[in-house]
């Protein structure tokens, strides 16, 4: 298999990564190199093998439905928003969302 320039552009768009044409070119080569390694999987017979999504076969633990996070006075909010590129009146500000 071989990734095309178009596919690299498509996944870069999906991943929200700006790429220059030169970068696409290089990425395309590099990714194809990596995929040549990954292609080894194709030859493996995995019929009837359950996919392994987690390192252990355990079941999910649940937490009680309790409110344990409180920030009525906005102290934590102020701390968190001090990290934000832009925030105002308790809101995170982002470049206009155009629908």
Partner 1 sequence: MIHSDLKTLSRALKEKQISSVELARLFLERIARLNPELNAFITVDEEKTLVAAKAADLRLASGSAGMLTGIPLAQKDLFCAQGWRTTCGSKMLENFVSPYDAAVVTKLEHEAGMVSLGKVNMDEFAMGSSNETSWFGAVKNPWDKTCVSGGSSGGSAAAVAAYLAPVATGSDSGGSIRQPAAFCGLSGIKPTYGVVSRYGMVAFASSLDQGGVIAHSAEDCAFVLAAMAGFDERDSTSLERPPEDYSRLLGQPLQGLKIGLPQEFFGAGANAEVVAAVLSAVEEYKRLGAKIVDVTLPNSHLSVPVYYVIAPAEASSNLSRFDGLRYGYRAPDCNDLREAYTKSRAQGFGAEVKRRILIGTYVLSHGYYDAYYLKAQRVRRLIADDFRRAFQKCDVILGPTSPTTAFKIGERSADLVALYLSDIYTIAVNLAGLPGLSIPCGFDSNGLPIGLQLIGNYFAEARLLNVAHRYQEATDWHTRRPQEFCGEF
Partner 2 sequence: MNAWEIVIGLETHAQLATRSKIFSGASTAFGAAANTQASPIDLALPGVLPVLNKGAVECAIRFGLAVEATVAEKSVFERKNYFYPDLPKGYQISQFELPIVQGGHLNIMVGQGEKSYEKRIRLTRAHLEEDAGKSLHEDFHGRSGIDLNRAGMALLEIVSEPDMRSAEEAVAYAKALHALVRWIGICDGNMQEGSFRCDANVSVRRPGASLGTRREIKNLNSFRYLKEAIEFETRWQIETLEDGGSFEQATVLFDPATGKTRAMRSKEDAHDYRYFPDPDLLPLFIAAEWIERERAALPELPVAKRQRFISDYGLSAYDAATLTASLEMADYFEATVRASNPAAAKLCANWVMVDLAARLKREDREISEAAVSAAQLGGLVARIADGTISNAIGKKVFDALWMGDGVNADEIIAKQGLKQITDSDAIEKLVNDALAANPGSVSEYRAGKEKAFNALVGQVMQAAKGKANPQQVSELLRQKLSTN
CA distance to 3, 13, 74, per residue, from 23 (Å): 14, 13, 44
User: What tokens appear for 70 in the block?
Assistant: 């409180």
- Maximal CA-CA distance, the chain: 59
From candidates 41, 44, 60, 82, binder to partner 2 by CB under 8 A: 60
30 neighbors 59 (Cβ within 8 angstroms): no
The residue ranges that bind partner 1 (CB under 8 A) are 3, 7-8, 10-12, 14-19, 27, 30-31, 33-42, 44, 46, 49-56, 58, 60-61, 63, 76, 79-80, 83-86, 92, 94-98
The residue ranges that bind partner 2 (CB under 8 A) are 14, 16, 53-54, 56, 58-72, 74, 76-77, 80-81, 86, 88-97, 99
């Amino acid at each position: 298999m071989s990734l095309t320039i178009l596919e690299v552009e498509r996944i870069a768009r999906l991943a929200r990564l700006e790429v220059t044409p030169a970068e696409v070119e290089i990425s395309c080569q590099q990714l194809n190199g990596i995929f040549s390694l990954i292609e080894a999987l194709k030859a493996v017979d995995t019929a009837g093998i359950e996919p392994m999504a987690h390192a252990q076969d355990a079941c999910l633990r649940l937490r009680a439905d309790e409110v344990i996070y409180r920030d009525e006075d906005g102290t934590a909010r102020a701390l968190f928003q001090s990290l934000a590129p832009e925030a105002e009146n308790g809101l995170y500000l982002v470049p206009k969302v155009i629908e």
